[in-house]
Structures are given as structure tokens and as C-alpha cells.
């Protein structure tokens, strides 16, 4: 038994690392993506979105994801009413009312040019057709784009392998060696936007272990127009002549939670600090800070946040929550709004873009998320995640530029009493053995 427990603890501790591959693998080109039945299910809960066709998928391990979708001219792909139903849950667990991009800010290090790709151009306005070869084994959905006055094959829904879900060399009830291992899989949803020479993939992976991965990939070409000097550019091509200008992609996502169907949720910040020496190692102590008012926060060592349900608990009577799992980010410190890594604001319908927010219903409130973070009490929190990537070009980034990804994850924390992937034979091992 001790052996089993140790294995479980180690898995828990390593969860953030295990999540990484989903963020950085190109799911689209994987051979297993062409697995049979990768197209979305016929939907028993088709009425969930109204007349529109929902995205629904039961992954091979039994986890089911459902959501509604649309394409906004500025925001691009908008996913709504996202619900997670692990194998043994009787009903879908609603996670998010809405999840979408909220800005892609691209300033060049030369100080000469800057783009705000959502608020100035729009990811839906620039949505392009996805061809079958780009959506292996999946379903491509067309949608009318008002600004283009065209139907565009803008959405791909498919599945992709995730690699190891778990592995454990163990013993069965009779003391015989038994290996428990499984491969995980993801529901993959994406759209593609073409902004000048850049092409962006807006992608969401919904894993069978409950993890949600949001990421934006940039490909296409480096700017053909931006060449610079030493310190602001990197030589590409022969010799030291053409220094492609370094630049930023600061990507914002806006997440409006609806945990267990309720917009009322609590936000908590956790920090872990050294607290002396024990007999065998340093003591680290984790403290919780309730975030009751709007917050603009910076990442720090061992700091994380979660959004906690006020409406649902798992069968262990722990409140369900979703944890923000950050990946590396270099925030851009030349704008106030990109100088923080995460914001929590009180919901307002007119606050949709993290900067350049042009909704006239928000007139007088300022146009960026830093302005809206002004001390209001949080009863309906909206999370804004800022992930900055400082791109110093290299020879290999020439045409077509290999996709570079940036993003974050939401991981379930106490949504279910154990992992939804726990094999049946181990399902009774909940809590410390007695």
C-alpha cells in the first residue's frame, strides 16, 4: 500500500510538469490524431446551445466535453458554456461561461511599429479556411464572418493523443505484479487567422484528465519590413546584414467562469515560502490569501491562483476549483496593461478586450484591463491571463516560420474525488490508507 501512495503523491507533485507536453506539442500532425471516431459525437445534449451545433466529444477514457462556439470579428474563436463530465459524474460540470482571446499586442523592439491584432484588425475578421489536411480525422465547420461577408471554414474540432496519462508498476489483490498504464487524449478545437504575413492558430485542448490548455501559435513569416540594428535585431540570412527585428507577442485571454453553473465564485491566491528547517529538509509553508477585491497580480516563485466554486463540491466534500497553471511568460513592461501576469475583475459585459476595448457602453471607464482593476468587490470574477513571448528571430524562423506557441492551462483541483482516469481496480484508494 505504501508503494501505491507514494506513486500517487509523486504524480500529484509532478502534475504541472506533466501538463507541459500538451502545450508545446503540435497536436495537429500526430499520427494518432487520425484515430477512428475522432469526429464530434452526435449530441444527446444538442439543445444546450439552442439551434446551433454544439461541440461535444466523449474521449476514449470516458471523459466528455461539451461547449458552444462562435466566431467574433475581433475576438475570433469564442467558446461558451464549456462543461466537463468525467466518466463517473452523473451530470456535466459547467466550468466556463465564456473563454476567448482578449488581445494580441505586437510591438517591435526597434520602437518603430506596434500592432494590436485583436482590437485593430480582429481574429474573426481574418479567419481563414481550414483544409482537411489541417484537421486530420476531425470536423470542419463553416461560419459566416460579417466583415468578410463570406462563409469561412473557420473551425476545426478533432482529437489528439496526449501521451502518458499515468503509469504505475503495482500489485493486484493477489500480490501479483500488475502494471497500470494508459494513454491520454485531448479534444482539440482551433481556428486560424491570417494577419498580414503572420498566421495565428487559436487553439484549446480539453484533456480527458480535465485539464484545459489555451494556446496561440504564430507561424507564416517574420515581418518582411522590419529590419533593425545590433541589440534590436538578429541577423538572418548570410553574414551580418539583415537583422530581423525582435518583437513581442503579448497574448491575453479572458475567462468568465460559471463553476457548477454559477457565476458567483471565489478567487484564492496561494504562496509557498521557506519556514525554517526540519529534520531532513527545509520546511515550506503554503498560505492562502482570499482575493475578495479586483486584483492585478504578478507571478512569483511558487505563487498560483484558483477560482473556487460556491455551488459545487466533489464527493469528498471539497469545493470544486480550477487552478491557473502558468507557463513561462516575459511580460511586456512598456504598457501598464501588459505589466502584470493576471488580472481578476468584476464581470462587465462591455469589458471584452484587454486593451483597445472599444465598446461604447464602457465609455469613460478606460479601454484596458489595468484601468478596470480598481478595487471593486469580486462576486462574479473574470480572469485575464497575460502571456508574453519576446521573439528574437533566428535563421530557422525563415519562411514558413516554425510555429511558436504560448499559453497557459486550467487544471481541475478537487473537481472529482480522484482523477477521472483512475483505473477501476484502484478506485477505492481514496485518502490515506487505514
Partner 1 sequence: MTEQGEDHRSGKQDGARARTLRRTLWGAGIAVAATAALIAVTVPRGASAQGDNATAGATSTAAPGSSGAGTGPVTENAAPQGPQTGIGPLTEAEVDRAKSIALQEGTPRSFRTAAGKQGAEYLDADLVDDPAATAGTPRRVEVLFYDYGHDQLVKKTVNLGTGAVERTDTATGVQPPPSGDETRQAAALLIKDPLGQGLRTDFTAATKGQTLTSPDQLRLRGLSFNTGEQSAPAGLDKCGANRCVRLFTQVKNGPWIDTTDYVIDLSDHTVGRIN
Which one, 353 or 426, has the nearer CB to partner 1?
A: 353
Give the integer Cα–Cα distance in Å for 411 and 304: 12
Ordered alpha helix ranges (H), 247-378: 369-372
Among the listed residues 115, 206, 253, 408, the single contact to partner 1 using CB under 8 A:
115
Among the listed residues 44, 111, 229, 231, the single contact to partner 1 using CB under 8 A:
111
Give the integer Cα–Cα distance in Å for 418 and 434: 18
Max CA pair span of the chain: 71
228 binds partner 1 (CB under 8 A): no
Q: Pick the catalytic residue from 198, 200, 248, 343.
A: 198
396 binds partner 1 (CB under 8 A): no
How many residues does the structure list for the chain?
434
Q: Tell me the closest approach of the beta carbon of residue 96 to partner 1, in angstroms.
A: 9
Which one, 230 or 396, has the nearer CB to partner 1?
A: 396
Which of the residues 60 through 89 are near partner 1 (CB under 8 A)? 68-74, 80-81
Q: Tell me the closest approach of the beta carbon of residue 199 to partner 1, in angstroms.
A: 9
Which of the residues 364 through 393 are near partner 1 (CB under 8 A)? 367, 380
| Residues 91, 48 contacting (CB under 8 angstroms) | no
Q: Tell me the closest approach of the beta carbon of residue 385 to partner 1, in angstroms.
A: 18
Which of the residues 243 through 272 are near partner 1 (CB under 8 A)? 256, 258, 263
Give the integer Cα–Cα distance in Å for 290 and 341: 18
Closest CA to 258 of 82, 77, 63, 54: 82
Which bin fits 209, alpha (ψ -120 to 50), beta or left (φ > 0)?
alpha
Which of the residues 27 through 46 are near partner 1 (CB under 8 A)? 28-36, 38-39
Q: Pick the catalytic residue from 84, 109, 115, 117.
A: 117
| Residues 111, 63 contacting (CB under 8 angstroms) | no
Which of the residues 131 through 170 are near partner 1 (CB under 8 A)? 131-144, 146-149, 151, 153
403 binds partner 1 (CB under 8 A): no
The span from the first CA to the last CA of the chain, in angstroms, equals 10
Active site residue 117: yes
Give the integer Cα–Cα distance in Å for 424 and 67: 28
Q: Tell me the closest approach of the beta carbon of residue 41 to partner 1, in angstroms.
A: 12
Active site residue 198: yes
Rg of the chain (C-alpha set): 22
Query: Which cell numbers hold the place of 339?
Result: 505589466
The residue to which cell 453553473 is assigned: 261
Which of the residues 322 through 351 are near partner 1 (CB under 8 A)? 332, 334-335, 347, 349
Q: Mark 176-205 with x for binding to partner 1 (rule: CB under 8 A) and - for no binding.
A: ------------------xxxx--------
Catalytic residues: 117, 198
Amino acid at each position: 500500500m505504501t508503494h501505491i501512495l507514494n506513486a500517487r503523491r509523486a504524480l500529484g507533485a509532478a502534475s504541472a510538469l506533466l501538463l507541459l507536453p500538451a502545450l508545446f506539442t503540435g497536436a495537429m500532425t500526430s499520427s494518432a490524431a487520425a484515430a477512428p471516431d475522432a469526429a464530434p459525437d452526435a449530441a444527446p445534449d444538442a439543445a444546450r446551445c439552442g439551434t446551433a451545433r454544439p461541440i461535444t466529444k466523449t474521449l476514449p477514457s470516458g471523459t466528455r466535453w461539451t461547449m458552444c462556439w462562435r466566431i467574433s470579428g475581433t475576438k475570433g474563436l469564442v467558446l461558451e458554456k464549456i462543461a466537463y463530465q468525467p466518466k463517473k459524474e452523473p451530470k456535466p460540470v459547467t466550468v466556463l461561461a465564456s473563454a476567448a482571446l482578449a488581445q494580441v499586442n505586437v510591438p517591435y523592439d526597434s520602437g518603430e511599429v506596434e500592432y494590436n491584432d485583436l482590437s485593430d484588425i480582429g481574429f474573426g475578421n481574418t479567419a481563414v479556411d481550414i483544409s482537411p489536411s489541417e484537421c486530420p480525422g476531425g470536423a470542419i465547420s463553416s461560419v459566416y464572418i460579417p466583415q468578410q461577408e463570406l462563409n469561412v471554414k473557420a473551425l476545426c474540432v478533432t482529437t489528439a493523443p496526449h501521451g502518458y496519462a499515468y503509469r504505475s508498476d503495482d500489485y493486484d489483490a493477489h500480490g501479483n505484479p500488475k502494471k497500470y498504464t494508459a494513454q491520454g487524449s485531448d479534444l482539440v478545437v482551433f481556428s486560424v487567422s491570417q494577419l498580414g504575413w503572420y498566421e495565428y492558430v487559436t487553439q484549446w485542448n480539453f484533456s480527458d484528465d480535465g485539464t484545459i490548455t489555451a494556446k496561440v501559435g504564430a507561424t507564416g513569416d517574420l515581418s518582411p519590413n522590419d529590419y533593425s540594428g545590433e541589440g534590436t535585431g538578429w541577423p538572418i540570412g548570410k553574414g551580418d546584414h539583415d537583422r530581423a527585428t525582435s518583437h513581442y507577442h503579448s497574448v491575453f485571454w479572458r475567462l468568465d467562469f460559471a463553476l457548477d453553473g454559477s457565476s458567483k465564485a471565489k478567487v484564492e491566491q496561494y504562496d509557498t515560502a521557506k519556514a525554517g528547517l526540519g529534520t531532513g529538509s527545509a520546511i515550506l509553508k503554503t498560505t492562502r490569501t482570499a482575493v475578495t477585491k479586483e486584483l492585478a497580480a504578478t507571478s512569483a516563485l511558487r505563487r498560483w491562483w484558483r477560482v473556487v466554486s460556491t455551488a459545487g463540491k466533489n464527493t469528498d466534500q471539497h469545493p470544486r476549483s480550477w487552478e491557473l497553471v502558468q507557463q513561462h511568460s516575459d511580460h511586456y513592461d512598456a504598457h501598464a496593461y501588459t505589466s502584470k501576469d493576471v488580472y481578476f475583475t468584476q464581470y462587465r459585459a462591455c469589458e471584452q478586450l484587454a486593451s483597445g476595448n472599444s465598446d461604447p457602453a464602457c465609455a469613460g471607464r478606460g479601454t484596458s484591463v489595468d484601468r478596470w482593476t480598481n478595487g471593486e468587490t469580486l462576486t462574479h470574477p473574470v480572469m485575464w491571463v497575460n502571456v508574453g513571448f519576446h521573439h528574437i528571430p533566428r535563421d530557422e524562423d525563415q519562411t514558413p516560420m516554425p510555429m511558436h506557441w504560448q499559453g497557459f492551462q486550467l487544471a481541475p483541483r478537487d473537481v472529482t474525488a480522484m482523477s477521472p482516469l483512475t483505473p477501476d481496480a484502484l478506485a477505492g484508494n481514496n485518502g490515506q490508507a487505514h
